[in-house]
Chains A and B, each alone.
Chain A
Amino acid sequence: MSAMKIALVLSVALLALVSVAEAGVSFKSLNSSKTLTVQAKIQATNLTSGQAHVGTDHLVISWALNSSFDGTGKDASYVNVKIKLCYAPVSQTDRGWRKTKDDLEKDKTCSKGITQQKYVPTGNTTIWRITKDVPGAVYFVRVYAVDALGTQLAFGQTTDKTKTTNLIQIVPISGRHVSIDIAAAVFSVFSVGSLMGFLSLEAIKQRKANSKAIFSFFRAAFTDIIRGQSMLREIKII
């Protein structure tokens, strides 16, 4: 049986090593295709950086083909654009689930999709109300030009290469409500209160049983004493 176990383990190990993963587009390869210019402004302040609140604030995102690429035919295969909200490095540190990887299939920098639009060389604008599920972090906006299958062909972003300019800090909701707070308090009090209630009830029952027992004990002892006395009187000792 042990030989079978070893064989099973080895075969599974082999299976694991032969992990077939389809690699996506390499981001580095897109560097030569930074053909789009993108701008994102907070609608309330009309600034490209600053604080924005989820649920209430809007981002005005406009993109277009960079004029230096006009007529070069580089955008021949662009079908759509995908606009994404991406984490700035300060919000990625110590958070491996937001890590930047070169393989765009595995890259987690731009996990929040804003919208998708049809590609036109003159570009487009979108106004997006920041949804309540966006986590509190520092962001920039990136636009990918994709083909019909969704493969990234080119990109543009609001920030520079080091991702330090035009960063927007989004302030999230806490998720807490007064009603939740009250419900939690009520349930907690019920839990502790009913426990205390039970324990005191059982203590009272115990005291009653004890006092009954004390009474019966003394009554039995008294009866014994009387009996003992009458016995002794009978045999003329007292």
Chain B
Amino acid sequence: MASRKSNESEREVGSSTGHEPVFVMSMETLGEEKNSNTSSEPTDIRGRKFPLPVDSEHKAKTIKIYSFAAPHMQTFHLSWFSFMICFFSTFAAPPLMPVIRDNLNLTKADVGNSGIASVSGSIISRLLMGTICDLVGPRYGCAILMMLTAPAVFCMPLVSTVTGFILVRFCIGFALATFVSCQFWMSSMFNSKIVGLANGTAAGWGNLGGGITQLVMPLVYGLIRHIGAENYTAWRLAFFVPGVIQTFMGLLVLTVGQDLPDGNYAELKRSGDKVKDSFQRVLWNAVSNYRMYIFALTYGYCFGVELTVDNIIAEYFYDRFDLNLQTAGIIASTFGLMNIVARPLGGVLSDLVARRFGMRGRLWNLWIIQTLGGVLCIVLGISGNLTSAIVVMLIFSFFVQAACGATFGIIPFISRRSLGVISGATGAGGNVGAVVTQALFFMKSTYSTEKGILLMGVMMVCVTMVIFLVYFPQWGGMLCPESKATEEDYYKSEWDELEQTRGLHLASLKFAENAKSERGRRVAPALVSSPEHEIRV
């Protein structure tokens, strides 16, 4: 009880974020004290019990996929579905491209430009979304983004020029920033032990949207044609489907969603455990860590390749193998649908390898998976037979998406202090990779699409080699063994001496203790932190 009281006084003093009136905070403190007096089970601000076991921050300790119970699982499903629908809208045009390119008289360069536009908008929006979530909460961030980009989706039926088409795809692409709100929301709702699984599953299922759209849009188009519309009208009408779903999800998130397990930002004050950090220092710490750049680059060649393929694959199958729109769409959708298992499995593989080989194992795991993905991409480019192309594409999709999952198995260990910035930069790097790849290989008529795919595979293999340059002093790199440095040295070094004297680095030390698991089998049993430590404090 005493610890709870001191916690609350800390929260009063230290956590003013400047956007809630101070007098509201003090009233709520009393309310919470009353709550904890009368019941022994954790409840939210309104006195409701949690359906899942929770920790001291009321974050869930387990995840029940089939449950929709508020607040944790409801948030999980709202969050991944919103992200999925944004992916759906962003990649709704590519499966219908054979019709759109004839309607708008597009050249290959125009199609390429629209593909680049669709993924470049979110570079900026992903970087901004982190700040927006910090300020107003992930619920508002997600809903506002979805409901403001829905008009862009509704503008697609109105385009009649190349410029209009590219502009609309650019605007719709902003919606991909829901990735950030999704991850932020998961991190607020789920305990750090399972946040990796929650984040990876939500991200993977969100990316599914890129696959589902390839399947659904041609079917919707076919249905509308069947009802009697002309083809150039049918594709326009088909776009009302993603638009309406996006608006509906935005409303649902606003009405049903909540920012934190206890309630919404506006009702509560933020939990005081988070140390108020200086944005400049956090940014500098990230920018001066060379590993951020390496992983932003390599993520550009797994996630970036995934985005590129989402943009070109339906058209590729339609053109090269003379399939009809619906068949090409079904085949193309299998690429994105592999995300159901591939991305989470990539993370799981990374964790499994780390148990035996630690961080060095994770690095080798990522390099092998991504390089194999590159090799399969090369093979896809030279597959002239439909069956072999489909088989190769399926295996290729597994490796590319597993590489994305494996990358985020490593990212949390690069920095504890600047995790948000580094995750955001990695994500943005993914989009930059998509932009560069499409600009280099899928714009000019000098390369046929199959040659572009081959060259993309070559680039994947070459770029992935930079993982060899990653070195953690306490764990080693791919080729070099570890030095005498410890995890504490590494994570403490993110804080300067002044900050260390103020004790701001203590949370990082706790993290360093847990990170010892990245040594693999070298971890001596005595070094593994036991739960008793946490209870005593």
- Which residue numbers of A lie inside 8 Å of B, CB to CB? 2, 5, 8-9, 12-13, 15-21, 93-97, 132-133, 135-137, 172-177, 180-181, 183-185, 187-188, 190-192, 194-195, 198-199, 202, 206, 209-210, 213-214, 216-217
Cβ-closest chain B residue relative to A8: B395
Q: Contacts of B237 on A, CB cut-off 8 Å?
A: 180
Question: What separation, in Å, do the CA atoms of A5 and B392 have in the docked complex?
Answer: 13
| A195 near B143: Cβ-Cβ < 8 Å | yes
B249 CB to nearest A CB, Å? 11
Chain A interface mostly: helix
Does B236 count as interface, using CB distance less than 8 angstroms?
yes
Question: What separation, in Å, do the CA atoms of A133 and B107 have in the docked complex?
Answer: 18
B-side interface residues, number (CB < 8 Å)? 62
Does B287 count as interface, using CB distance less than 8 angstroms?
no
Does B86 count as interface, using CB distance less than 8 angstroms?
no
Question: What separation, in Å, do the CA atoms of A194 and B244 have in the docked complex?
Answer: 13
| B385 near A187: Cβ-Cβ < 8 Å | no
Question: What separation, in Å, do the CA atoms of A195 and B53 have in the docked complex?
Answer: 34
| A191 near B151: Cβ-Cβ < 8 Å | yes
A9-B372, A210-B24 are contacts. A187–B233 as well, Cβ < 8 Å? no
A19-B388, A187-B244 are contacts. A12–B232 as well, Cβ < 8 Å? no
What 12 additional pairs, Cβ within 8 angstroms, besides A19-B385, A174-B232, A175-B231? Answer: A5-B372, A16-B382, A93-B445, A133-B232, A175-B233, A180-B158, A185-B154, A187-B150, A194-B147, A198-B143, A206-B266, A217-B27
Does B289 count as interface, using CB distance less than 8 angstroms?
no
A94-B107, A195-B147 are contacts. A173–B230 as well, Cβ < 8 Å? yes
Q: Contacts of A214 on B, CB cut-off 8 Å?
A: 23
Does B319 count as interface, using CB distance less than 8 angstroms?
yes
Does B329 count as interface, using CB distance less than 8 angstroms?
no
| B445 near A96: Cβ-Cβ < 8 Å | yes
Question: What separation, in Å, do the CA atoms of A83 and B64 have in the docked complex?
Answer: 62
B237 CB to nearest A CB, Å? 7
Cβ-closest chain B residue relative to A218: B23
A106 CB to nearest B CB, Å? 9
Cβ-closest chain A residue relative to B110: A94
Does B375 count as interface, using CB distance less than 8 angstroms?
yes
Q: Contacts of A184 on B, CB cut-off 8 Å?
A: 154-155, 157-158, 240
A154 CB to nearest B CB, Å? 24
Cβ-closest chain B residue relative to A91: B105
B447 CB to nearest A CB, Å? 9
Residues B337-351 near A (CB distance < 8 A) = none
Q: Contacts of A188 on B, CB cut-off 8 Å?
A: 150-151, 154-155
B508-527 Cβ-contact flags toward A at 8 Å (1 or 0):
00000000000000000000
| B233 near A180: Cβ-Cβ < 8 Å | yes
Partner of A180, one of B157, B247, B376: B157
| B236 near A175: Cβ-Cβ < 8 Å | yes
A13-B379, A133-B230, A176-B236 are contacts. A191–B385 as well, Cβ < 8 Å? no
**Most B CB atoms within 10 A — which of A94, A199, A210?**
A94
Does B65 count as interface, using CB distance less than 8 angstroms?
no
Question: What separation, in Å, do the CA atoms of A97 and B314 have in the docked complex?
Answer: 13
Question: What separation, in Å, do the CA atoms of A174 and B230 have in the docked complex?
Answer: 10
Q: Contacts of A181 on B, CB cut-off 8 Å?
A: 157-158
Does B235 count as interface, using CB distance less than 8 angstroms?
yes
| A19 near B383: Cβ-Cβ < 8 Å | yes
Question: What separation, in Å, do the CA atoms of A113 and B36 have in the docked complex?
Answer: 78
| A192 near B160: Cβ-Cβ < 8 Å | no
| B388 near A176: Cβ-Cβ < 8 Å | no
CB pairs A–B below 8 angstroms (8 shown): A12-B392, A20-B385, A96-B445, A97-B98, A175-B230, A185-B154, A187-B244, A198-B143
A146 CB to nearest B CB, Å? 18
| A93 near B107: Cβ-Cβ < 8 Å | yes
**Most B CB atoms within 10 A — which of A95, A136, A191?**
A191
Q: Contacts of B380 on A, CB cut-off 8 Å?
A: 16
Question: What separation, in Å, do the CA atoms of A83 and B510 have in the docked complex?
Answer: 77
Question: What separation, in Å, do the CA atoms of A94 and B266 have in the docked complex?
Answer: 54
Does B51 count as interface, using CB distance less than 8 angstroms?
no
Partner of B448, one of A2, A96, A183, A202: A96
Cβ-closest chain A residue relative to B152: A188
| B266 near A191: Cβ-Cβ < 8 Å | no
B220-256 Cβ-contact flags toward A at 8 Å (1 or 0):
0000000000111101110010011001001100110
Q: Contacts of B102 on A, CB cut-off 8 Å?
A: 135
| B233 near A192: Cβ-Cβ < 8 Å | no
Q: Contacts of A187 on B, CB cut-off 8 Å?
A: 150-151, 154, 240, 243-244, 247
